[in-house]
Amino acid sequence: MTTRKHIKSMPPAVYLLALSLFAMGSAEFLMGGILPMIAGDLQISLPMAGTLISAFAIGALIGAPPFAILALRWPKRVALVASQGAFIAATVVSLLASGYWPILVARFAMGLAYACFWAVAASTAVQLAPPDRHARALSIVVSGLTVAMVLGGPAGTFISEATGWRGGFWAVVAGTAVAAVAGLLVLPSKTPGGAQEPDLRTELRAMRRPVLWLAFATTAATTASYMGTFGYLGALLLGVSGLPAHWLPAVLTLFGIGAFIGLTIGGRTADRRPFTTLVAGILGLILVSAAVAVLASDATATVSLVFLLGVAGFLLNPAVWGRVYVVAPEAPMLAGAMNSSAFQAGLTVAPLLAGLPISLGHGLPAVGWVGAAIGVAALGLALLGETGSRAPASR
């Protein structure tokens, strides 16, 4: 009965935002599986092809705050559909171009448009949802990215293998176009009644709060904690755990199933007990990451830990996203945009930090210790943020 009530209380537009993020986010996770094809087609080295991933990530990292300010007074539907249109245009340019540099610039533009959409989508979901369902709404929107990671990327890779590397991205264009048309029909043209109209001066004033920057840092640290380990899971499972190669896709899918379960649980608990949900997820990350480092040679144990890593990592996502809207409710656009950038920052630094001990000769299991260490740092940031949030709001 409770579940049915939750579903009925959530506007359909929130689910559409998740679908849109799935379509656009698939472009972020598609590249990893087709880099050799791109390198061969463009006649460039594999590391050089990898910079196309970095271009998208950098655009997504730096694009959210300025575009959130630019779109502050736009109607939400206009800002969302315009960012989707810009994303489609940049993607088409990247597919029609034949040289490395035009594709690199187009990938950067795709990241900018993606960041703009994500920032506006998060604040829109909060404004559309009932007051006691904000974290639930955010978990639904973020689930679009989870499905993109688990399903969109692999599906796009499969299409590209059958049609050439551009085929998967044409599917992304088609999916984004469908979502944009649906947005024109479903998304409200005005800010929902009762929701505060955005104001640049008010939003910038909210950015002065140290506790808000602690929330951003917590988002980046928690993301880096699980994504660093996730980035090396394939190599760890094959090279250390001895998992047969044909089982690898199924095990990585298990991470996605765990992530979906974690999001579902976190979306329902973070509205009532946000700090408890956050701490539970971080403690889970610390324990699971340390267990990966210790038990990496045991295939059965490591496979189980992959599932638990997904649960813990995404259990806390609704809490870290909902946190910024609690700390700065009067700054939904800029706070959401900065949190989006913090999430991208965690994605960007995660493989670099996790790769450090490997480059120093400590072996693949060491990525688990890095994840645990970042988790400890995230716990400290969360505790500082909770202490700071109890101070008078007038600071």
- The DSSP secondary structure of 53-64, one letter per residue, reads HHHHHHHHHHHH
Residue 392 has pLDDT above 60, yes or no: no
Ranges 110-114, 306-310, 338-342: which has the least confidence:
338-342
Q: In the numeric block, which tokens belong to residue 334?
A: 């800029």
Cα 166 from Cα 40, distance rounded (Å)? 13
Q: How confident is the model at residue 198, as a pLDDT?
A: 61
User: Are 27 and 173 spatial neighbours (Cβ–Cβ below 8 Å)?
Assistant: no
Domains of the chain: 1-195 (1.20.1250.20), 199-395 (1.20.1250.20)
Average pLDDT, the chain: 84
Q: Lowest-confidence range among 79-88, 194-203, 231-240, 370-379?
A: 194-203
Residue 322: band (very low, low, confident or very high) from pLDDT cuts 50, 70, 90: confident
Average pLDDT, integer, range 99-114: 93
- Give the Cβ contact number of residue 370 at 10 Å: 24
Answer with the residue of higher pLDDT: 40 or 153.
Answer: 40
Distance CA 91, CA 71 (A): 21
Q: Is 242 left (phi over 0), alpha (psi -120 to 50) or beta?
A: left
381 pLDDT band, cuts 50/70/90, is: very high
Q: Worst-scoring range by mean pLDDT, 103-107, 140-144, 257-261, 312-316?
A: 140-144
Q: What is the pLDDT of residue 38?
A: 87
pLDDT at 2 > cutoff 70: no
Does the pLDDT of residue 249 top 50, yes or no? yes
pLDDT over 70 for what percent of the chain? 92
> Picking from 2-11, 26-35, 366-375, which range would have the lowest pLDDT averaged per residue?
2-11
Per-residue pLDDT band for 393 (boundaries 50, 70, 90) equals very low
DSSP per-residue string spanning 151-206: IIHHHHHHHHHHH-HHHHHHHHHHHHHHHHHHHHHHS-SSPPTTSPPP-HHHHHHH
Q: What angle do CA 271, 277, 280 make, to 5 degrees?
A: 175
Predicted confidence band at 276 (pLDDT cuts at 50, 70, 90)? very high
Task: Tell me which of 26 and 46 has the higher pLDDT.
Answer: 26
What pLDDT is recorded for position 195?
Answer: 53
Question: 181-214, pLDDT tens digit by residue?
Answer: 999 988 876 655 555 556 778 878 888 888 999 9
pLDDT on residue 303: 93
